[in-house]
Copies of this chain bind each other. A is one copy, B any other.
């Protein structure tokens, strides 16, 4: 019943590892990590479950590998942000760059957004939380008013959530991204010039 595979295979070669990551991320984002079984992933790829274990040691490792590949731009951004002076321009530029980084890794961020409970229990959960904290510390001023700190954090959240929440508003995706970015920049700007706000 298998063994002949009448022709629909072919054209792949050493790209299986990559294909596993692609399909896995797609399914993880769509259904959640726990609800997505290795059987399902394997079936989508037309290979056996055991084949997945040739490429990855565990289910979690699949997710970790995706995470590592896709969050590198974010790491570099943080690195860069820390090296800059902590002024408003830097913060604005960080948000701008972050907006682009998010666009490139949208499905992964959608996954993380929607599977926070799962993330918390996985090793990458901590990694990610750390990164978020570092981002926050670049953006916010720990001596500012509570309100202004909320503004900064809200800016980050707005960007994360922004991509998915405007789903049913019909507009050009690029326009949406810009609108989201504008609101985030505004929030940070207000926080910076703030104080008198309260």
Chain B residues with Cβ under 8 A from A31's Cβ?
117, 121
Shortest Cβ distance from A33 into B: residue: B117
User: Is A150 touching B179 in the complex (CB atoms < 8 A)?
Assistant: yes
Q: Chain A: interface secondary structure? A: helix
Work out how many copies of this chain go into the complex.
4
Contact B146 A176 (CB under 8 A): yes
User: Which of A7-15, A17-25, A108-116 lies at the interface with chain B?
Assistant: A108-116
* Contact residues, A140-159 vs B (CB, 8 A): 145-147, 149-151, 153-154, 157-158
Asked if B183 and A147 sit within 8 Å, CB to CB, the answer is: yes
A133 to chain B, nearest CB (A): 8
A: interface residue count bin: 35 or more
A165 B157 Cβ-Cβ under 8 A: yes
Any B CB within 8 A of the CB of A35: yes
A15-65 with Cβ < 8 A to chain B: 29-35
A166 at the interface (CB under 8 A from B): yes
A100 at the interface (CB under 8 A from B): no
Contact A158 B149 (CB under 8 A): no
Q: Does A169 sit within 8 A of B, measured CB to CB? A: yes
- Of chain B, the residue at the smallest CB distance from A115 is B117
Separation of A34 and B53 alpha carbons in the complex (Å)? 21
Contact of A154 among B114, B118, B154, B190 (CB under 8 A): B154
Q: Interface code A111-146, partner B: CB below 8 Å = 1, 0 otherwise?
A: 101111110110000000000010000000000011
CB closest chain-B residue, reference A152 = B183
Alpha-carbon separation in the docked complex, A101 to B152 (Å): 24
